Amino acid sequence: MVYYKGPWHAFYSGQSIKLEREMFTRHKKKITYTKLYKKKDSKEIIELTSAFSTEKYPNPDECPYYFDDTVYLGVVDKWVSTKTIL
């Protein structure tokens, strides 16, 4: 697996959270996570469900994230923590 250094395009999808929660429920896990990252050129911390390398995907429209409710949040450059969603 190839890991890319930041920055990354950030996305949020409620459908992604719902799907993950349903999948984990079938496997008897009860916790779902989102990620908290720092927005590039800002101190703002944002919650996201997926991040894609700007190196691999210079254009955010090319990122393979296929949920109907996907919202593009901008570019992030530092992972902060994960957030537990019960």
User: pLDDT, tens digit, for every residue of 9-65?
Assistant: 999 999 998 888 887 766 666 677 889 999 999 999 999 999 999 999 999 999 999
Amino acid at 81: S
pTM here is 0.86
* Residue whose tokens read 């090319």: 62
Query: CA nearest 71: which of 82, 60, 80, 79?
Result: 60
| pLDDT of the residue at 75 | 98
Structure tokens at 1: 């697996």
| pLDDT of the residue at 38 | 97
